[in-house]
Amino acid sequence: MSKRKYFGTDGIRGRVGQYPITPDFALKLGWAAGRVLAKDGVRKVLIGKDTRISGYMLESALEAGFASAGVDAAFTGPMPTPAIAYLTRTFRADAGVVISASHNPFYDNGIKFFTTDGKKLDDAIELQIEAELDKTLDCVASEQLGKASRITDAAGRYIEFCKSTFEHNLSLADLKIVVDCANGATYHIAPNVLKELGAQVIKIGCDPDGVNINENCGATDVKMLAKRVLEEQADLGFALDGDGDRIIMVDHLGNRVDGDQIIYIIAREMLRQGELKGGVIGTLMSNMGLEIALKNLGIPFERAKVGDRYVLEKLIEKGWRLGAENSGHVLLLDKTTTGDGIIAGLQVLIAMVRNRMSLADLCSGMKLLPQVLINVHLTENVDPLANIEVQAIIKNVEDELAEKGRILIRKSGTEPLMRVMVEGEIEADVKKFAEQISDCIRRI
């Protein structure tokens, strides 16, 4: 298949004001996507965004592009990515559009699409859109132009959907929860979901100003959350990322609980309830501890390429329902169609309430192996893995680890970074090996 020019592992993403995250490109993208995604029927798309200041500019440009292709656009305002996937289905729209750069800083932004059934676009459709982008933009006749509208009850609809995934005979009345919304798209959603299910909720990262999204908060930085959980003597903490498709949790002791641990808890609880069908899909980054713990329970485990789209593809291929990345993308296909931080967190809360166990206790059945991840900034368009010196040091580390550890080195699909991951039994050795490889990549 041809290589995609603009679409990465999670839509189109980059620095605001630098091509392709510019208003003129967004205009053309709306037009191209409208021509591909809404060929028949209602010809309507939903457009949601996170809380970045650049979202206003990009949604206006996208709407103009869709209108020129004869497609109506309905705005939801700030809404989590999984909410747009859900609302696209319920409104029977031709497509959903999310303007977000997820966990990236405010000066980045991105555009990603969902199909009418709430799933991310496959490569073939993205290539069709890119083919249209190479054409000259034209405009339908005036009487066929698209119209714009606003969905005023989008937040309420999604809150009710999230609550519907929580068992009706259970309550969170005995739990105190600190929720960190990363000053992002869940700031008016997640606290209300937890409150309406009975929890005592303490909010942080719920005051977006357009530029503080993901800033020292949320799923990528849980230090503030852990501190607040301890100060408040809370039962646990939720940390969501800027667009709400990731969750990292913190137990009552202030320990970080990542996506591997979250999917372990959910899979084990489903097994206990007789609800587990098939196994669990992780990624090349999933901790070996998850693989070992699931094996001990007799639950099959397989790895996909890094990226929740690839986890989803493998789940569909296997006919399984549970998948996750350790970064906090958790897919529960029996509940929804894409990664959803709030819904994943609710399933962990169900396990806590049903078993009367703390989050720390639920994690105790799985031991994470030491894993070090170092991001090396790439200043040029080079492939360090083609360098003989880099290859040699990787070979040396592999020989030393033998079968008691793993190395994974890959380019980020969303940022100019080379990610170096080393995993093994002894933390000091793992750190040393990761630094050796990273230093070598920096030198070349």
Nearest-angstrom CA–CA distance, 372 and 285: 11
- Compute the distance between CA of residue 311 and CA of residue 403 in angstroms, rounded to an integer: 25
**Tokens at residue 112, please?**
């990603």
Asked whether 264 and 275 are in contact (CB, 8 A), the reply is no
β pairing state of 301-304 and 280-283:
parallel
Please state, in angstroms and as integers, the Cα–Cα distance from residue 73 to each residue in 80, 88, 167, following that order: 18, 12, 35
| Total residues found in the chain within this entry | 444
Cβ distance 325 to 285 under 8 Å?
yes
DSSP H helical segments within 13-53, as ranges?
A: 23-37
Q: Rounded to the nearest 5 degrees, what angle is found at the Cα of 362, between the Cα atoms of 359 and 365?
A: 140
Tell me the β-bridge partners of 415: none
Tokens standing for residue 291: 């693989």
For residues 203 and 177, what is the distance between their CA atoms, to the nearest angstrom? 9
3-class DSSP state of 235: coil
Which of the residues 102, 286, 327, 438 is marked catalytic?
Answer: 102
Q: Burial letters for 310-338: b for 16+ Cβ neighbours within 10 Å, e otherwise?
A: bbbbbbeebebbbbbbbbbbbbbbebbbb
What is d(CA 172, CA 231) in angstroms, rounded to the nearest whole number?
A: 20
Looking at residue 111, the DSSP 8-state letter turns out to be E
Q: Which amino acid is at 138?
A: D
Under DSSP, the state recorded for 226 is H
| Known catalytic residue at 142 | no
Active site residues: 102
